[in-house]
Chains A and B, each alone.
Chain A
Amino acid sequence: MNFAEFISYGFVQRALISGVLVSLITAMLGVFLVLKRLSLIGDSLSHIALSGVAVGLILNVTPIFAALPIVMLSSLGIFKLSKNKKIYADSALGIVSSAGIALGLIIAALAGGFNTDLMGFLFGNILTVTPAETVLSVIIFAIVIACLYFFYNALIATVFDEHFAKTAGVDTDKINILLVLLSAVVVVLAVKTVGIMLVSALIIIPPTSALQIAKKFKSVLICACIFSVFATVGGVYLSFLFNLPPSALIIILNLIILCICGLIKYAKSGKIN
């Protein structure tokens, strides 16, 4: 099957639209999260998404719509916990992460009977994206892009040096809340693409690859987007050709790109940092 024939299917078109938009926003947001050492927030929030999905399946509501408010509230919880200096940020992420899995499993066990659906969310299936979810992807993409554009320099200053940002008049609390809320929204959206187990890879790997080879902030953003989109489109196409899970292929392609970028950096500098 050639690529033209491949994209003529409606479900493939939805998968590609949704996948490309999710890839773009996870990559862009991921750059800020990786540099701020908050990349594991994707992992924690995706585990919370498990509870949200379970609640959605019980209430017979579209799971990602049910997961959205739950994950957003949890992201604020992470912010509050990590702002409280008595708990380290990574500990706060770990606490929320395990709470999410535990609650999700309990809800699933209490309800019973939707294990197959839940498995679909654990490992994702981009080829089953519905028209409503595609529309949601477009809306969330527009919101994330608008936020990144309007708060671009404030975000950079906060990532660069939070104390400096504060004394430059940036409300760093608001910026950090914005960052965790956007992460929550993006994680919920990405759950359908690559699944709960692999969502943090979409946030971490493309920015890490880009940071190996690009020097300026904008170049890092652009490279991360290109890598992420390439891996997603490639992963979906290969899954169709070889009848393999698209989420796994998307991540494997991202890892291959990371290795190539690492080798390029090694070749340039003679060492891998």
Chain B
Amino acid sequence: MNISEIKNLSFSYTGQTVLKDINFKIAEGDYIALLGPNGSGKTTLIKLLLGLLPSQKGKINLFGNTLQKFHAWQNIGYLEQKTTTPRNMPMTAFAVVRLGLLSTKKGLKLFNKEDNKKTISLMKKLRCYSYKDKLFSELSGGQQQRVLLARTIINEPKFLILDEPSTALDSSSREEFFEIISTLNEEKKTTILLVTHDISQVGKYVNKFLVLDKQIIFYGSKEEFCDSKEVTSYFGPYTQHLIDHLHTEGTCPMPHCHSEEVK
């Protein structure tokens, strides 16, 4: 089953092409790393995929429905690159996490005791329970990110979209963060689309790469990525750096995919 399908998607902003003729499918259980240099259109692609930007040309399907007819938002979890939360927002970490259950609510969208229990249980699991009563705005960047991750996954989404989620985390928290995400992919078959520059950390978890630079440079499995001439010829040193990391990590399975050979 396809979680998402994008056909002939193009987008321009103030006359400049940001995305051109994008076509790809995301299958259930995929764990995709979305790579590309700054300004390559990664965040724009995600915002279009979620309907946060109005689409100009092309088709976007989510869970078999066009974006206009898609209402099953409880299946979606989205963690943005940076939050736009007001500086003095009077919300505790607990209230922020519980807000993630909003998509599961119908009608009045009011929370009940079960929701509170679920929130507490997840916060304990993600080790953010100790600061549950602290104001979200008073938490450190890493703590905020952990709380936002909890908010994103509390409704057990089938499709998780993470836009550079680990930037505010230190290296050990980053490792733990990706472990949590990977567990969701392995145990619950959660489909994940992860925008990242941190190839060294996610290379061992993902099973697909999507390389973007206004258009799709590469989309395929990790094995194909390591052996892709299109990737190396397009990005040159940039891709070399990525493949070097994969190789060092031992996650590049192709025997002939050696950094020296690519050079």
Q: Which residues of A contact B (CB under 8 A)?
A: 35-37, 150-154, 156-157, 159-170, 211, 214-217, 219-220, 273
Nearest neighbor of A273 in chain B, beta-carbon distance: B88
Instruction: Count residues on chain B whose CB falls below 8 Å from chain A CBs.
Output: 33
Query: Nearest residue in B to A220 (C-beta to C-beta)?
Result: B90
- B83 nearest CB across to chain A (Å): 6
Q: 30 A-B residue contacts at CB 8 Å?
A: A35-B88, A35-B90, A36-B86, A152-B109, A153-B99, A153-B105, A153-B109, A153-B111, A154-B102, A159-B86, A159-B89, A160-B89, A163-B50, A163-B80, A164-B78, A164-B80, A164-B99, A166-B52, A167-B50, A167-B52, A167-B73, A167-B77, A167-B103, A168-B100, A168-B103, A169-B71, A211-B88, A215-B92, A215-B135, A273-B88
Contact B99 A163 (CB under 8 A): no
Is there contact, CB below 8 Å, between B73 and A168? Answer: yes
Pick the residue among B71, B85, B135 that contacts A161 (CB under 8 A): B85
For window 94-133 of chain B, which residues contact chain A by CB distance below 8 Å?
A: 95-96, 99-100, 102-103, 105, 108-111
Q: A164-B80, A170-B102 known; A152 and B110 CB under 8 Å?
A: yes
Q: Which of A150, A162, A215 contacts B108 (CB 8 A)?
A: A150
Complex contacts, B85 vs chain A, CB 8 Å: 160-161
B83 contacts which chain A residues (CB < 8 A)?
161, 164
Query: Whole-angstrom distance between the alpha carbons of A211 and B90 in the complex?
Result: 7
Q: Give chain B nearest CB distance to A42 CB in angstroms.
A: 18
Across-interface contacts of A169 in B (CB, < 8 A): 71, 73-74, 102-103
Highest count of chain B CB atoms <10 Å: which of A35, A168, A169, A217: A168
Q: Does B76 contact A (CB under 8 A)?
A: yes
Which residues does chain B contribute within 8 Å of A160, judged by CB atoms?
Answer: 85-86, 89, 91, 96, 99
Q: How far is the CB of A167 from chain B (nearest CB, A)?
A: 4
Closest partner residue, chain B, to A151 (CB atom)? B109
CB neighbours of A154 from chain B (8 A): 102, 109
**Which A-B residue pairs are the 6 nearest by beta carbons?**
A169-B73, A168-B103, A167-B78, A168-B102, A169-B103, A220-B90
Report chain A residues within 8 Å CB of B51. 166
The docked-state distance in angstroms from the alpha carbon of A150 to that of B107 is 8
Question: Is B172 part of the contact surface with A, judged by Cβ < 8 Å?
Answer: no
Q: Is the CB of A156 within 8 A of B99?
A: yes
Residues of A within 8 A of B95 (CB): 216-217
Which residues between 55 and 87 of chain B lie within 8 Å of chain A, taking CB atoms? 71, 73-74, 76-78, 80, 83-86
Question: Which of A150, A156, A163 is the one whose CB lies under 8 Å from B84?
Answer: A163
Given contacts A167-B50, A168-B73, A168-B100, contact A215 B90 (CB under 8 A): yes
A36 to B73, CA, bound (A): 24
B102 to chain A, nearest CB (A): 4
Closest to B161 in A: A167
A156 to B105, CA, bound (A): 14
Residue numbers in A under 8 Å from B50 (CB-CB)? 163, 166-167
> Whole-angstrom distance from the CB of B234 to the nearest CB of chain A?
31
For chain B residues 27-56, which have a beta carbon within 8 Å of chain A?
Answer: 47, 50-52
Q: How far is the CA of A217 from the CA of B88 in the complex (A)?
A: 11
Residues in A whose Cβ lies below 8 Å from that of B84: 161-163
Task: Annotate B205-242 by CB proximity to A: 1 below 8 A, 0 otherwise.
Answer: 00000000000000000000000000000000000000
Residue of A nearest to B91 (CB): A217
Expressed in whole angstroms, the Cα–Cα distance for A166 and B70 within the complex equals: 12
